[in-house]
Amino acid sequence: MTGEPDLLQFLKPFPIDLQKIYPRSFCSVNGLTYGLIRTSQDKKLVVVGKKRPVLADPFKGSCHHQKSTIKVCDLSAENTECLMALFPYTKPVSLRKHPITIGTGDRLGVATPGHIRAVQRFPARPVLAQQSVRENRQTGRSFKEVVQDAAWAVFQENYQGGYGADGDHLKSPEEVKNALDAGVSMVTLDLSEKLDLEAFRTPKGVIDRKYKEEIDEGDSRVLLHLFLGKEFLFKIPHGGMSILFDEESVKRNALFFHKAIDFTEEAYEFIRKRSGNQALIDFEISIDETPFPTPPKSHLFFIIVLNHRGVRIDSLAPRFIGEFQKGVDYRGDLKDFQDQLYQHVLIAQDYGNYKISIHSGSDKFSVFPHLGKLAKGGLHLKTAGTSWLEAMRLIALLNPSLYREMHRFALSIFKEAAKLYHVTTDLNRIPNLEKLRDQELPAFLDQDDSRQLLHITYGYLLNAKAGNGKNLFRERFYQTLTQYEEDYWSLLERHIGKHLDSLGLPGK
C-alpha cells in the first residue's frame, strides 16, 4: 500500500474527517497499518487492522469499528514514546560517526519534513531538533515538545538515516539535566559565561597575582608541565604550523579557561553517569559567543587540558575571525578566515578527531566551499533562523496582508530586539513596504537588512498580543504555514539543499 489513491480508498469507510494523508508514513508492522493523516482537528496517527490487535496495540486513541478497525491517535507525549519503541529510527541518536552533520533546528515545529527532504539528498546527517533555552522561551516550547515534533516528522517522511537532537547553548547543570530528560542525543555546552574575558587584556603584573590567587598549586604544576618548553607541531602540505607557550601565555589561558574547564568536566561527568554509556550523547563545546575570535593557540590549550582530565568532546565551536551575523553572508577577510579555520581543523584532528562546529552557519555562502574543503573530515554546521525566514517568505508569497502587518510590527520593535543580537541592520536601506505591490514582497527576504529585521524579531512577532490579550499573528501565521505546508517544505528543501550543495557535497 503506497499510492495515495489506494490509501484514500482504504480509509474511506471510516467516519473520520480526513483532509490529507501523508503517504510516506504508511507502513505495516505485525499485520497492522500505521500512518499519519490530517483531520480538521490536527495531524493524527491512525492504526488500522483487525479489531483485536488494534485494541491490543499500545497507542492511545479512539476506535471506530467497521469490517476492520481504525484507531485515531493524538501525537501526544505518551504516543511519542510508543512511536519511538515501535519505530526506533524515530528516536534521536548520536551522529558522532558521521563526519558531516547539519543542525536544522525547527524553531516552529513544522519545518522538519522540508529539512529531511533536503538533507537526505546528500551524504550528511541532520540534527533536526536543536533548540536553545532562549529559543524555547521565545517560541513557548519545551525541549520535550521539540524532540516529539521531530520524531513525528521523521515518521511522516519515513526517514531512517538517523537524526540528532541538540540541547543547544546550555549554560547550567539544570539546563543540561532538562535537555537530557527530554531525550536529546546531543548537548552543546555554552562556556561564554564561564570565561574570564579580562585574562587577555589585563597587564602582566595583574595576571601573575590573579594566577597565584585563582589557580591552585597542583593544577599550576600540571599546566606548566603540559605546556612549558614544548613545541606543538602540526603537519600541513607545505611545511608546518608550530605553537609555543611561554609562562605568560600559560597563565593567561589558564585564567581565561579555568572555570570553563571545571564546568565542562562537571557536565561531562554528569552526562556520562546519566546515560550510563557516554557514547549515546554527543558533546559539543561552544565558545562562539565571546567578544573576540578564538585564537587557535587557546583552542589548543583548552583541548589539551580537557584531554588531560579525560574529557572527550565531539565538536567545538570557536568564534571565527570576521562576522557571522544571523541570516546573512559572512563579512570579513576570506583568506584570514580560511587560515584560522585550517588551524582549528588541524588541532581538532590531532587532539581527539572532533568536528569543528560553525554556529550562525546559515546563509554563509561565500565561506561554504572553503568549509567543505578544509573540514571535510569533521564538520557540524548549525542553522536555525534561516528556516524562520523561509517561513516569512512563504507568508510574503501566499498571505501578503499578514506579511504586511508582521513587517510593520517588526519595524516598530526593531530597536528593542536589536539589543539582544549583534547585527548591523540599517533600516534606511529597507525598501518602503507601503510602496511595494504584493508580488514584490518576497524580495524582502533577499535583502540583508530586511532579512535581519525579520530574523531578530521572530520572538516578538510570535508573541505579539492585541489589546484583548489574544495573539496578534501567531494563529494566522501557523494556519498559513499549515495550509501551504508542502510549499513551505519545498522552499526549505531548496534553501537547505543550497547550503549542502555549496559545501561541495555530492548530491544524490
Q: How many residues does the chain have?
A: 508
Between 10 and 324, CB nearer to Zn ion: 324
> d(Cα 343, Cα 422) in Å, to the nearest integer?
26
Work out whether 284 is an interface residue with Zn ion (CB under 5 A). Answer: no
Task: Burial-class residue 234 by CB neighbours within 10 Å (0-12, 13-18, 19+).
Answer: middle
> Which three cell numbers mark 141?
516550547
Query: Site for Zn ion (CB under 5 A): which residue of 359, 364, 370, 451?
Result: 359
Q: Which residues of 446-456 are buried (b: 16+ CB within 10 A; e: fewer)?
A: eebbbbbbbbb
Task: Give, as ranges, the residues between 388 and 427 that touch Zn ion (CB under 5 A).
Answer: none
Q: Rounded to the nearest whole angstrom, what is the least distance from the CB of residue 141 to Zn ion in the complex?
A: 19
The Cα 447–Cα 384 span in angstroms is 18
Residue 55 CB neighbours (<10 A): 13
Q: In 399-470, which residue ranges form alpha helices assigned H by DSSP?
A: 400-418, 448-456, 458-463
List the interface residues with Zn ion, window 133-152 (CB under 5 A): none
Which one of 106, 135, 166, 284 is the catalytic residue? 284
* Interacting span for Zn ion (CB under 5 A) from 26-34, 149-157, 286-294, 489-497: 286-294
* Least gap, CB of 283 to Zn ion (angstroms): 15
Q: What residues are paired with 28 via a beta bridge?
A: 33
Distance CA 356, CA 363 (A): 18
Q: Is 336 a catalytic residue?
A: no
To the query of whether residue 448 is one of the catalytic residues in this protein, the response is: no
Q: Which is nearer to Zn ion, 113 or 385 (CB)?
A: 385
Please give the residue whose beta carbon sits closest to Zn ion in the complex: 359
Give the shortest CB-361-to-Zn ion separation in angstroms. 9
Rounded distance between C-alpha atoms, residue 282 and residue 166, angstroms = 9
- Residue 91 or residue 171: which is nearer to Zn ion going by CB? 171
| Beta carbon of residue 269, minimum distance to Zn ion (angstroms, whole number) | 23
Residue 148 or 286 having the CB closest to Zn ion: 286
DSSP lists the bridge partners of residue 240 as: 235
Of the residues 168, 196, 363, 390, which is catalytic?
Answer: 168
Report the nearest approach of Zn ion to the CB of residue 364 (Å): 13
Look at residue 352 and give its three-state secondary structure: coil
- 288 makes contact with Zn ion (CB under 5 A): yes
Point out which span in 197-205, 355-363, 420-428, 459-467 binds Zn ion (CB under 5 A). 355-363
CA distance 104 to 93: 15
Positions that interact with Zn ion (CB under 5 A) = 286, 288, 359
Provide the annotated active-site residues. 168, 284
